[in-house]
């Protein structure tokens, strides 16, 4: 079987870690920031050297295509080059760089493909500078409204639209990924969790992206002076909220071993050590591949008492998404390639969101996971050994070639 | 018995509510801000009209003194004119205005006193602009270091010392309240709690200020992705902290009915809805007049497990104060005046801190509480009906006169 060059891939990972280097082993490469634009230019430069044709769409998404031998729609390998603040050197960029290494391997071996094949970069996947995450894959696939997104502002008040216009990366709308010109999309990504490492698997054959619900709870009590209000008359929102959090955790934990849920954000008002809190707001994020399990989560929430320790408790759904299933031929191609390469693998759902979840249902699509050391991501400690990166790239290369033969 | 003029007192409360008027029924009159300086000038203007002598000390504390008939140290009635952000029209200012009304009543009735008697204003009691609270009474009585306090900065970066120098209120250090020149200090204050109103009492005869301990808890877990980290492997600091809060509350509640405790401030890190919290810090403030009860609180804290739900739990004492007892002749004078005026009263400890707690032990001292409607304070809803304000002023007047006779 044809294989990528690990040394070349290592050079790519190291080179791209310069863009936004934090000096602490990680990077800050916010979407359309100077370091992100440098990374884009470096990628385009490398793709041009391989004879690829470069296009951008009206959202700055980059498409670098190597010609095929037949007049067929393209198959692209994509991910993103932006990071969160103080992120790592693998999330997103590894999917782009393994795609580039796959193309470089084909070029080096003079290996033709029937379909045009290429590398693509989604703009603003993280949503760390411009809310929301997966903004441009969401626009292209009809999940978000472009005009609204153009006005999304970063913390300095710069609109996404302004930053895009200044970037020189905005191209033509007709260049967007679409089902007529594209036959498939493959995304390699780090797992961002500990499951593959813990289970000693080299490859995650990703079946889809789990469904989720996100709620905000508001617990309302009465604010009073910490020193002068008798304990028995208090309606302390933090005491009540703490009880609700413990109860929610204990109830949800019983539903299913694969259910994950997180109360990640909690804000207390007025948050002064001498004042009884009158309001606590906290979020609940719950994810599982089965809609039935998610329905049970919603039931637990709906069955919570509306009054706890004299405080009112309200739950509001912020958003929800159904489980997204990837296309069978793509999932099969990833599994078969892993098998043929002798890589151990696990069939799994992604708990995290990825551009591929929006692409699914629009253009046929699949994903490959490689292990995250200690499950870390979105931090400088994010790490995947180069051997495991190379395994992932080899699976991508061979899955791509298999799809190139099968797909019309 | 001699009585103050309720109509005049009402006018004073209304007039001073203009300084820093928020337009919502409350005020923002941060220490040494323009509205606070206006209130000080108005007070001085009124005191001069009554023939009082005005002095300020090196901290901007104001002393307005009416001469006595004998060469004795002065007895002053004091409190503060500054407020918190969006505070009310009674906290602090009522103590100053009832003092002024007492003097005006003495002047109107040509009633002499043996001791010089007067009104005083402490600078920066709230600590809402310059940390800490009760700054200047703390400096004068040797609890705080002046140089350190002069460098305390407001959120705009202005030092207390700079604001004081610009205010034109800084006078001479030798004018500070001291045991040689002052025979007593009386402070009237709103209760800031619901006890008097609930128990249908008109006057709080304040025995002292309760002792307290203040702890900060740090619960440390491990941060990970909300979607990809299996539930059973999580070390979620917010889940652990919630359990600790519930346990602390439930244990402390059992100790004593008069113990009050508050977990008022809680901060989550990184506080992102899709990230498992790795650190939660929260405060515990506990107050009771008996040192034995406070020791039981400390025992509960010390007996907490050091590990909860896979997270470490640490408790650090931030500060503590012992119960302050006011001087018996002053407490007696307040009780006797209430009795003689036919006012119902409750002997009680203050749960809140006041300048008087620093004065106690330095200059003989007592306090009078008037009820807070619904227990509200530090908010626009802060309210004490004028009849109850007048009762308090009458108790102050008659306690002052009794002390004037008794004290040498």
Using DSSP, state whether B78 is helix, strand or coil. Answer: strand
How close, in Å, is residue A263 to chain B by CA atoms? Answer: 7
Contact B114, B403 (CB under 8 A): no
Instruction: Say whether A231 and B265 touch across the interface (CB within 8 A).
Output: no
Using DSSP, state whether B405 is helix, strand or coil. Answer: helix
Q: Spell out which residues of chain B touch residue A274, defining contact as CB-CB under 8 Å.
A: 262, 264, 285
- Arithmetic mean of pLDDT, B72-76: 98
Of A229, A238, A245, the CB nearest to B260: A229
Query: Has residue B379 been placed in a domain?
Result: yes
Query: Has residue B93 been placed in a domain?
Result: yes
Two tokens at B303? 């007996």
pLDDT interval class at B400 (50, 70, 90): very high
Contact A260, B231 (CB under 8 A): yes
SS3 content of chain B, % helix, strand, coil (to 5): 35, 25, 40
CA distance linking residue A167 with residue A27, whole number of Å: 20
What residue in B sits closest to A264 (Cα-Cα)? B273
pLDDT at B319: 85
pLDDT at B80 over 70: yes
% chain B with pLDDT above 90: 91
Asked which of A241-245, A250-254, B351-355, B369-373 is least confident by mean pLDDT, the reply is: B351-355
Q: DSSP state, A71?
A: S
Instruction: Say whether B260 and A227 touch across the interface (CB within 8 A).
Output: yes
Instruction: Say whether B238 and A266 touch across the interface (CB within 8 A).
Output: yes
Same domain, B202 and B298: no
Same domain, B170 and B47: yes
Contact A279, A218 (CB under 8 A): yes
Q: Which of A256, A291, A321 is the last residue of a domain?
A: A321
Tens digits of per-residue pLDDT, B301-322? Answer: 999 999 999 999 999 999 898 9
pLDDT at A226: 86
Q: Spell out which residues of chain B touch residue A238, defining contact as CB-CB under 8 Å.
A: 245, 263-264, 266, 282
Q: For residue A342, how many other CB atoms are within 10 A of its CB?
A: 9
Interface test with A, best of B127, B224, B257, B259 (most A CBs within 10 A): B224
How close, in Å, is residue A403 to chain B by CA atoms? Answer: 28
Two tokens at A33? 């920031």
Query: Has residue A154 been placed in a domain?
Result: yes
Q: Cβ neighbours of residue B144 under 8 Å, at least 6 residues apart?
A: B132, B135, B138
Domain that holds residue A282: 211-321
| Rounded alpha-carbon distances, angstroms, from residue A271 to A30, A226, A312 | 31, 12, 18
CA distance linking residue B164 with residue B33, whole number of Å: 10
pLDDT at B276: 93
CA angle A18, A61, A92 (to 5 degrees): 45
Of B214, B229, B268, the CB nearest to A266: B268
The residue to which tokens 């019983």 are assigned: A254
Same domain, A76 and A107: yes
pLDDT, averaged across chain B:
96
CA angle B383, B385, B391 (to 5 degrees): 125
| Rounded alpha-carbon distances, angstroms, from residue A276 to A269, B73, B130, B264, B376 | 9, 42, 22, 5, 12
- Arithmetic mean of pLDDT, B66-79: 97
CA distance linking residue A278 with residue B218, whole number of Å: 22
CA distance linking residue B309 with residue A263, whole number of Å: 15
**What CATH number should be reported for the domain holding residue B317?**
3.30.70.360
Of A245, A351, A379, the CB nearest to B242: A245
pLDDT interval class at B272 (50, 70, 90): confident
Same domain, A38 and A181: yes
Instruction: Say whether B263 and A230 touch across the interface (CB within 8 A).
Output: no
Same domain, A79 and A200: yes
How close, in Å, is residue A375 to chain B by CA atoms? Answer: 7
Q: Spell out which residues of chain A touch residue B266, defining contact as CB-CB under 8 Å.
A: 238, 266, 268, 271, 277
Using DSSP, state whether B275 is helix, strand or coil. Answer: strand
Same domain, B138 and B262: no
Instruction: Say whether B225 and A263 touch across the interface (CB within 8 A).
Output: no
Using DSSP, state whether B63 is helix, strand or coil. Answer: strand
Structural domain tally of chain B?
2
Tens digits of per-residue pLDDT, B288-304? Answer: 999 999 999 999 999 99
Q: Which of B301, B321, B341 is the last residue of a domain?
A: B321
CA distance linking residue A192 with residue B224, whole number of Å: 8
Two tokens at A50? 């391989």
Radius of gyration, alpha carbons of chain B: 23
pLDDT at A274: 84
Same domain, B202 and B261: no
Cis before A269? omega within 30: no
CA distance linking residue B107 with residue B109, whole number of Å: 5
Of residues B128 and A52, more confidently modeled = A52
The residue to which tokens 């629009």 are assigned: A362
Annotate B165-216 with DSSP letters as a single string. HHHT----GGGS--TTTEEEEEEEEE-SSSHHHHTT-SEEEEEEE-EEEEEE
Two tokens at B249? 């509350």
Interface test with A, best of B85, B92, B228, B370 (most A CBs within 10 A): B228
Contact A81, A96 (CB under 8 A): yes
CA distance linking residue B372 with residue B385, whole number of Å: 9
Query: Where are the strands (E) in B28-104, listed by range?
Result: 53-56, 62-66, 74-80
Q: For residue B240, how many other CB atoms are within 10 A of its CB?
A: 25
pLDDT interval class at B408 (50, 70, 90): low
The residue to which tokens 């996971």 are assigned: A369
Q: For residue B318, how many other CB atoms are within 10 A of its CB?
A: 12
pLDDT at B182: 97
How do strand B74-80 and strand B117-122 relate by DSSP bridges?
parallel
Same domain, A174 and A235: no
Same domain, A165 and A201: yes
Backbone angles phi, psi at B217, to 5 degrees: -100, 140
The residue to which tokens 């304000």 are assigned: B389
Per-residue pLDDT of chain A (408 residues; tens, 9 = 90+): 899 999 999 999 999 999 999 999 999 999 999 999 999 999 999 999 999 999 999 999 999 999 999 999 999 999 999 999 999 999 999 999 999 999 999 999 999 999 999 999 999 999 999 989 999 999 999 999 999 999 999 989 999 999 999 999 999 999 999 999 999 999 999 999 889 999 999 999 999 999 999 999 999 999 888 888 999 999 999 999 999 999 999 999 999 999 999 999 999 998 888 889 999 999 999 999 999 999 999 999 999 999 999 999 999 999 898 999 999 999 999 999 999 999 999 999 999 999 999 999 999 999 999 999 998 888 899 999 999 999 999 999 999 999 999 866
pLDDT at B75 over 80: yes
The residue to which tokens 């193309």 are assigned: A103
pLDDT at B393: 98
Q: DSSP state, A375?
A: G
Q: Which of A321, A339, A369 is the last residue of a domain?
A: A321
How do strand A211-220 and strand A311-321 relate by DSSP bridges?
antiparallel
pLDDT at B407: 65
Decide: residue B232, CB within 10 A, 0-12 exposed, 13-18 middle, 19+ buried: exposed
Query: Where are the strands (E) in A145-278, listed by range?
Result: 182-190, 203-209, 211-220, 260-262, 266-269
User: Residue A284 pairs with which residues in a beta bridge?
Assistant: A215
Same domain, B146 and B206: yes
Same domain, A262 and A392: no
Instruction: Say whether B227 and A268 touch across the interface (CB within 8 A).
Output: no
Contact A77, A120 (CB under 8 A): yes
Size of interface A-B (CB pairs under 8 A): 209
Using DSSP, state whether B312 is helix, strand or coil. Answer: strand
Query: Has residue A1 been placed in a domain?
Result: no
How close, in Å, is residue B397 to chain A by CA atoms? Answer: 26
Two tokens at B261? 């405790």
Q: Spell out which residues of chain B touch residue A277, defining contact as CB-CB under 8 Å.
A: 263-264, 266
pLDDT at A224: 84
Two tokens at B214? 């203040």
The residue to which tokens 């002499």 are assigned: B112
The residue to which tokens 């106690």 are assigned: B360
Query: Has residue B1 been placed in a domain?
Result: no
Of B225, B264, B287, the CB nearest to A275: B264
**What CATH number should be reported for the domain holding residue B388?**
3.40.630.10
Two tokens at B154? 């407001």
Two tokens at A394? 């080899």
Backbone angles phi, psi at A374, to 5 degrees: 60, 15
Tens digits of per-residue pLDDT, A261-290? Answer: 999 999 999 888 888 999 999 999 999 999
The model's pTM is 0.78
Same domain, A155 and A232: no
Interface test with B, best of A193, A226, A375 (most B CBs within 10 A): A226
CA distance linking residue B373 with residue B384, whole number of Å: 6
pLDDT at B338 over 70: yes
CA distance linking residue B123 with residue B63, whole number of Å: 11
């Amino acid at each position: 079987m044809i294989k990528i060059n690990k040394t070349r891939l290592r050079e790519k990972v190291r080179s791209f870690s310069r863009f936004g280097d934090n000096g602490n082993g990680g990077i800050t490469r916010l979407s359309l920031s100077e370091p992100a634009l440098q990374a884009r230019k470096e990628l385009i430069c490398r793709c041009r050297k391989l004879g690829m044709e470069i296009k951008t769409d009206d959202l700055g998404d980059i498409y670098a295509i190597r010609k095929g031998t037949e007049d067929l729609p393209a198959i692209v390998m994509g991910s993103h080059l932006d990071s969160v603040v103080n992120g790592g050197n693998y999330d997103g960029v590894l999917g782009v760089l393994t795609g580039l290494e796959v193309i470089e391997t084909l070029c080096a071996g003079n290996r033709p493909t029937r379909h045009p094949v290429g590398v693509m970069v989604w703009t603003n996947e993280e949503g760390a500078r411009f809310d929301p995450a997966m903004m441009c894959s969401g626009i292209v696939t009809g999940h978000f409204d472009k005009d609204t997104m153009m006005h999304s502002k970063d913390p300095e008040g710069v609109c996404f639209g302004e930053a895009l216009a200044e970037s020189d990366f905005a191209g033509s709308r007709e260049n967007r990924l679409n089902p007529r010109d594209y036959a498939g999309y493959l995304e390699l990504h780090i797992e961002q969790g500990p499951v593959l490492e813990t289970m000693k698997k080299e490859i995650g054959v990703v079946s889809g992206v789990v469904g989720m619900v996100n709620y905000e709870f508001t617990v309302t009590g009465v604010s009073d002076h910490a020193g002068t209000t008798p304990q028995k008359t208090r309606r302390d929102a933090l005491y009540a909220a703490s009880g609700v959090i413990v109860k929610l955790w204990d109830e949800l934990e019983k539903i299913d071993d694969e259910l994950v849920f997180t109360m990640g954000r909690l804000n207390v008002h007025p948050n002064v050590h001498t004042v009884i809190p009158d309001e606590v707001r906290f979020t609940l994020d719950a994810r599982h591949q089965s809609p039935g399990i998610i329905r049970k989560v919603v039931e637990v929430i709906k069955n919570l008492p509306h009054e706890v320790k004299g405080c009112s408790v309200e739950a509001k759904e912020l958003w929800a998404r159904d489980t997204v299933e990837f296309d069978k031929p793509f999932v099969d191609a990833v599994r078969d390639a892993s098998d043929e390469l002798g890589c151990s693998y696990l069939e799994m759902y992604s708990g995290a969101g990825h551009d591929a979840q929006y692409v699914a249902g629009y253009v046929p699509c699949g994903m490959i996971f490689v292990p995250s050391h200690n499950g870390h991501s979105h931090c400088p400690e994010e790490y995947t050994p180069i051997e495991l990166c190379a395994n992932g790239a080899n699976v991508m290369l061979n899955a791509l070639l298999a799809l190139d033969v099968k797909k019309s």
